[in-house]
A = this chain, B = another copy of it.
Amino acid sequence: MGLVMGLAVVAPPAQKTLAQEMPAQDKPAQEKPPLGFTASSAQRQRALEARFDASLNVGNLRTWLTRLAARPHHVGSPYGKENAEFLAGLFRSWGYEATIETFDVLFPTPKTRVLELVAPEKVTLSLRESVLKEDATSGQTAEQLPTYNAYSADGDVTAELVYVNYGVPRDYELLAARGVSVKGKIVIARYGGSWRGIKPKVAAEHGAVGCIIYSDPRDDGFFQGEVYPAGEWRREDSAQRGSVLDMPVYPGDPLTPNIGATKDAKRLTRETAPTLMKIPVLPIAYVDALPLLRALGGPLAPDGWRGALPVTYRLGPGPAKVHLKLAFDWNLAPAYNVIARLRGAARPDEWIIRGNHHDAWVNGAEDPISGLVALLEEARGVGELVKTGWRPARTIVYAAWDAEEPGLLGSTEWVEAHAEELTKHAVAYINSDSNSRGFLRASGSHTLEPFINEVARDVADPESKVSVLERVRAEQIADATPAAAREIRERADLRIAALGSGSDYTPFLQHLGIASLDLNFSDRLGGSYHSIFDSIDYYTRFRDPGFVYGLALARVGGRTVLRLANADVLPFQFGALADTIGTYVRDVTRLADDLREQTDEQNRRLAAGVEKLVTSPGEVYVAPAPKDPVPFLSLAPVQNALARLQDRARAYDDAVRALMNGGAEPPASVRQSVDALLIQAERTLTSEQGLPRRPWFRHQIYAPGLYTGYGVKTLPGIREAIEQREWAEVDRQTIATAAAIDRLAAQVARATALASGAGTPPSAARP
Which of chain A's residues 521-536 have a Cβ closer than 8 Å to chain B?
523
B-side contacts of A311, CB under 8 Å: 222
A477 at the interface (CB under 8 A from B): yes
A607 at the interface (CB under 8 A from B): yes
A157 at the interface (CB under 8 A from B): no
CB of B16 within 8 A of CB of A608, answer yes
B-side contacts of A308, CB under 8 Å: 306, 308, 310
Which of chain A's residues 697-753 have a Cβ closer than 8 Å to chain B?
none
Closest to A21 in B: B608
A118 at the interface (CB under 8 A from B): no
B-side contacts of A306, CB under 8 Å: 223, 308
B-side contacts of A597, CB under 8 Å: 482
Number of A residues with CB within 8 Å of any CB on chain B: 53
B-side contacts of A611, CB under 8 Å: 478
Quick one: given A471-B613, A597-B482, A611-B478, are A226 and B312 in contact (CB under 8 Å)? yes
Q: Mark contacts of A599-614 with chain B using CB atoms, 8 A cut-off: 1 yes-contact digit, 0 otherwise.
A: 0110011011111111
CB of A598 within 8 A of CB of B310, answer no
CB of B601 within 8 A of CB of A485, answer yes
Q: How far is the CA of A497 from the CA of B597 in the complex (A)?
A: 27
Q: How far is the CB of A614 from chain B (nearest CB, A)?
A: 5
CB of B613 within 8 A of CB of A310, answer no
A463 at the interface (CB under 8 A from B): yes
Q: How far is the CA of A16 from the CA of B604 in the complex (A)?
A: 11
CB of A600 within 8 A of CB of B482, answer yes
CB of A15 within 8 A of CB of B612, answer yes
CB of B609 within 8 A of CB of A223, answer no
Interface centre among A300, A466, A598 (most CB of B within 10 A): A300
A174 at the interface (CB under 8 A from B): no
CB of A598 within 8 A of CB of B482, answer yes
A470 at the interface (CB under 8 A from B): yes
Quick one: given A308-B310, A616-B523, are A610 and B222 in contact (CB under 8 Å)? no
A126 at the interface (CB under 8 A from B): no
Quick one: given A225-B300, A306-B223, A482-B600, are A477 and B610 in contact (CB under 8 Å)? yes
A474 at the interface (CB under 8 A from B): yes
CB of B312 within 8 A of CB of A15, answer no
Copies in the complex: 2
Q: How far is the CB of A286 from chain B (nearest CB, A)?
A: 10
Contact residue among B17, B478, B485, B617 (Cβ-Cβ distance under 8 Å from A463): B617
B-side contacts of A477, CB under 8 Å: 605, 608, 610
Q: How far is the CA of A617 from the CA of B464 in the complex (A)?
A: 10
A18 at the interface (CB under 8 A from B): yes
CB of B478 within 8 A of CB of A610, answer yes
Quick one: given A598-B482, A614-B478, are A16 and B609 in contact (CB under 8 Å)? yes
B-side contacts of A610, CB under 8 Å: 18, 474, 477-478
Q: How far is the CA of A312 from the CA of B609 in the complex (A)?
A: 43
Q: How far is the CB of A409 from chain B (nearest CB, A)?
A: 35
Quick one: given A597-B482, A598-B482, A608-B16, are A312 and B222 in contact (CB under 8 Å)? yes
CB of B222 within 8 A of CB of A15, answer no
CB of A613 within 8 A of CB of B300, answer no
CB of B222 within 8 A of CB of A482, answer no
Q: How far is the CB of A551 from chain B (nearest CB, A)?
A: 16
Q: How far is the CA of A485 from the CA of B603 in the complex (A)?
A: 13
A490 at the interface (CB under 8 A from B): no
CB of B474 within 8 A of CB of A223, answer no
Closest to A597 in B: B482
B-side contacts of A607, CB under 8 Å: 16
B-side contacts of A474, CB under 8 Å: 608-610, 613-614
CB of B470 within 8 A of CB of A613, answer yes
Contact residue among B225, B309, B466, B485 (Cβ-Cβ distance under 8 Å from A312): B225
B-side contacts of A617, CB under 8 Å: 437, 463
B-side contacts of A437, CB under 8 Å: 616-617
A475 at the interface (CB under 8 A from B): yes
Q: How far is the CA of A5 from the CA of B522 in the complex (A)?
A: 51
Q: How far is the CA of A608 from the CA of B22 in the complex (A)?
A: 11
B-side contacts of A613, CB under 8 Å: 17-18, 464, 466, 470-471, 474-475
Q: Mark contacts of A1-30 with chain B using CB atoms, 8 A cut-off: 1 yes-contact digit, 0 otherwise.
A: 000000000000101111011000000000
B-side contacts of A17, CB under 8 Å: 608-609, 613
Q: How far is the CA of A274 from the CA of B143 in the complex (A)?
A: 71
Quick one: given A222-B311, A605-B477, are A471 and B16 in contact (CB under 8 Å)? no
CB of B222 within 8 A of CB of A614, answer no
Q: How far is the CB of A433 from chain B (nearest CB, A)?
A: 21
Closest to A461 in B: B613
Q: How far is the CA of A545 from the CA of B659 in the complex (A)?
A: 85
Q: How far is the CA of A226 from the CA of B312 in the complex (A)?
A: 6
Q: How far is the CA of A475 from the CA of B598 in the complex (A)?
A: 17
Closest to A306 in B: B223
Contact residue among B226, B471, B601, B616 (Cβ-Cβ distance under 8 Å from A614): B471
Q: How far is the CA of A17 from the CA of B606 in the complex (A)?
A: 10
Q: How far is the CA of A470 from the CA of B308 in the complex (A)?
A: 37
B-side contacts of A300, CB under 8 Å: 225
Q: Mark contacts of A285-313 with chain B using CB atoms, 8 A cut-off: 1 yes-contact digit, 0 otherwise.
A: 00000000000000010000010111110
CB of A605 within 8 A of CB of B478, answer yes
B-side contacts of A312, CB under 8 Å: 222-227, 231, 233
Q: How far is the CB of A671 from chain B (nearest CB, A)?
A: 39
Q: Mark contacts of A424-465 with chain B using CB atoms, 8 A cut-off: 1 yes-contact digit, 0 otherwise.
A: 000000000000010100000000000000000000000110
B-side contacts of A608, CB under 8 Å: 16-18, 20-21, 474, 477
Q: How far is the CA of A311 from the CA of B470 in the complex (A)?
A: 36
B-side contacts of A466, CB under 8 Å: 613
Which of chain A's residues 599-654 have a Cβ closer than 8 Å to chain B?
600-601, 604-605, 607-614, 616-617
Q: How far is the CB of A64 from chain B (nearest CB, A)?
A: 24
Q: How far is the CA of A351 from the CA of B225 in the complex (A)?
A: 60
Which of chain A's residues 6-63 have a Cβ closer than 8 Å to chain B?
13, 15-18, 20-21
CB of B523 within 8 A of CB of A482, answer no
Q: How far is the CA of A226 from the CA of B227 in the complex (A)?
A: 28
B-side contacts of A224, CB under 8 Å: 312
Q: How far is the CB of A217 from chain B (nearest CB, A)?
A: 8
Q: How far is the CA of A409 from the CA of B611 in the complex (A)?
A: 41
Q: How far is the CA of A613 from the CA of B470 in the complex (A)?
A: 9
Q: How far is the CB of A480 from chain B (nearest CB, A)?
A: 9
Closest to A15 in B: B609
B-side contacts of A485, CB under 8 Å: 601, 604-605
B-side contacts of A227, CB under 8 Å: 312
Q: List 6 A-B contacts (CB under 8 A).
A: A18-B613, A233-B312, A437-B616, A439-B614, A474-B610, A477-B608
Contacts A18-B610, A233-B312, A463-B616 supplied; 20 other A-B pairs, CB < 8 Å: A15-B612, A16-B607, A21-B604, A21-B608, A217-B310, A222-B310, A222-B311, A222-B312, A225-B312, A231-B312, A437-B617, A463-B617, A470-B613, A477-B610, A478-B605, A478-B611, A478-B614, A482-B600, A482-B601, A485-B605
Minimum-distance CB pairs A-B, first 7? A474-B613, A482-B601, A310-B310, A474-B610, A18-B608, A482-B597, A15-B609
